Amino acid sequence: MPTPARQARTMPNSAAAVIAELEGLFGRRLATDAAAREAHGRDESYHPVLPPDAVVFAESTEEVAAVVRICAAHGVPVVPFGVGTSLEGGVGALTGGISLDLSGMNRVVRLSVPDLDCTVEAGVTRKQLNAHLRDTGLFFPIDPGADATIGGMAATRASGTNAVRYGTMRDAVLGLTAVMADGRIVKTGTRARKSSAGYDLTRLLVGSEGTLGIITEVTLRLHGVPEAMSAAVCAFPDIAAAVDTVIETIQMGVPVARIELLDEVEMDAVNRYSKLDYPVQPTLFFEFHGSQASVAEQAETVAELAADHGGADFQWATLPEERSRLWQARHDAYYAAIALRPGCKGMPTDVCVPISKLAECVVETKRDLVESNLLGPLVGHVGDGNFHLCLVVDIADPDEVERAEALHARMVHRALAAGGTCTGEHGVGYGKLGFMETEHGEGLAVMRAIKRALDPQNILNPGKVVRI
């Protein structure tokens, strides 16, 4: 996880030429001031700000294509930007160029209630979409915590708390509109639920982080709002007991919508941040969706499994406001963690392992944390085997940063040794580039061949996902 020093760059002539051309087309929707550039070179993590040379606020796929064509003519990088909630440096302009801000492309283009699908522009956020869907009986389940854009979520193959039941962006995206490196506009997929018609370009672009094409529209699969929803919280004597409860729940095929683990450090942080009084113990948060009968059945099954593992005081909440309060605590986990040490930054980690290895990986990671003398609350979408340490790091202390990076690397290698991945949902950006070789081996050469074939000049978000 090498953190590039903020580069003292002078703008190349080619970028100046691009900016001159873009000015004619975009007028006041082109920004070159320091504030706009800084804002577009920053994500939500500890990664340094890497500002682009200019920012364009695009309002249509055709405008995105025009920007890419101009950049391609001059060999200047284009970095797509949604609302800047990425965590691995995905929006940093490593070699300058144009930041393409898509937040103004925020129209819901089409909604079909009978087909449970819709098409949205890339800049629509998940909360905006769910507000739009209110009263239709449908919802969009994928919830990474942050109110990210749908385009950004597709680009990083995001997931979050509901993935154990509803899948990730890989599953939610039926098709895309994307602008390729030569400015060509491609529509992938169809509105059919399945297809065997050729290479899965949709899935190739999902998770490609803007390095193969710039996603401008997304066709999404939606779900019916369940007849009943209930949430539950349960504290455990230790983390292994909590994880074992999760494993048995999944193995029994209970169709839980969410199973989230917060360790005792995170519970303490959440209590302080959100003024709550949960027991300071490893805790599971559950959510059940289905018919009234099914939800009750699921909760009873899980309560029994939890009790078998020493889970105490299994609390249910069916009222919407109670459920919201409970999930707000979970959603604030990242900010609550950072608030533990004012002035410090979050260094989020993100591994995913086969569920049989989860307890072992979590316990070893927590031991390593103590031995490394670092603060890092643990949260996990444990139904998927996905967990995070939110390392809270004093960026001004090089020794602490070094210890944090070393701990992170050990955590990743532990996950890879267990048959897992270096990132379950945050993406590679440039923060995880160093782990790609170990995870993919010869597959990385295949990824590079695809990148070279589709972006021969390496202008689309260069320096991310694969190093050319």
Looking at the Cβ atoms of 274 and 301, the one nearer to a second copy is: 301
Pairing relation of β-strands 98-101 and 78-81? parallel
Residue with smaller CB distance to a second copy, 393 or 428: 428
Q: By C-alpha distance, which of 105, 98, 72 is closest to 180? A: 72
Least distance to a second copy, CB of residue 247, Å: 6
- 106 or 249: CB nearest a second copy: 249
Residue with Cβ nearer a second copy (320 or 443): 443
Q: CA-to-CA distance for 450 and 438, rounded, in angstroms? A: 19
- The interface with a second copy within residues 73-132 (CB under 8 A) comprises 112-117
CA distances from 104 to 82, 115, 365 (A): 9, 27, 41
CA distance 452 to 458: 7
Q: Which of 236, 400, 254, 258 shows the shortest CA–CA distance to 327?
A: 258
Cβ at position 195, least distance to a second copy in Å? 4
* CA 423 from centre of chain: 10
Report the alpha-carbon distance of residue 355 to residue 179 in Å, rounded.
Answer: 38
Using the minimum distance from each CB to a second copy, give the nearer residue, 11 or 201. Answer: 201
Which of 291, 341, 397, 402 is the binder for a second copy (CB under 8 A)? 291
Which position has the token pair 């509105």? 191
Binding-site size, a second copy (CB under 8 A): 94
Among residues 247, 276, 395, 406, the one that binds a second copy under rule CB under 8 A: 247
Smallest separation (angstroms) from a second copy to the CB of 211: 8
Q: Give the nearest distance from C-beta 192 to a second copy in angstroms.
A: 4
Binders of a second copy in range 169-228 (CB under 8 A): 170-171, 180, 184-188, 190-201, 203-204, 206-208, 212, 223-224, 226
**Minimal distance in Å, beta carbon 203 to a second copy?**
4
State whether residue 189 is helix, strand or coil. strand
Among the listed residues 4, 33, 38, 252, the single contact to a second copy using CB under 8 A:
252
Residues numbered 12-51 forming contacts with a second copy, rule: CB under 8 A: none
Beta carbons of 416 and 422 less than 8 angstroms apart:
yes
- Restricted to residues 312-371, the positions that interact with a second copy (CB under 8 A) are 350, 352-356
Tokens of 388: 């995070």
Q: Among residues 6 and 193, whose Cβ is nearest to a second copy?
A: 193
Instruction: Give the CA distances from residue 363 to residues 135, 358, 379, 419, in Å, rounded to whole numbers and listed in that order.
Output: 44, 8, 13, 17
* Residues from 413 through 452 that contact a second copy (CB under 8 A): 415-416, 419-428, 432, 435-436, 439-447, 449-452
What are the tokens at 267?
């519970």
- For a second copy, the closer of residues 396 and 445 by Cβ is 445
Q: To the nearest whole angstrom, how small is the minimum distance from the Cβ of residue 151 to a second copy?
A: 15
**Closest approach of Cβ 386 to a second copy, in Å?**
7
- List, in sequence order, the alpha helices (H) in 100-224: 126-133, 150-155, 163-166, 169-172, 201-205
Amino acid at 267: M
CB of 293 to a second copy, least distance (A): 6
Positive or negative, the CA dihedral 28, 31, 36, 40 is: positive
Ranges within 367-406 binding a second copy (CB under 8 A): 384-386
Taking the complex as a whole, the smallest distance from the CB of residue 401 to a second copy amounts, in Å, to 23
* Residue whose CB is less far from a second copy, 116 or 276: 116
Q: DSSP label at 27?
A: G
Inter-axis angle of helices 239-251 and 292-308, nearest 10: 140
- CA nearest neighbour of 252 among 181, 189, 316, 308: 308
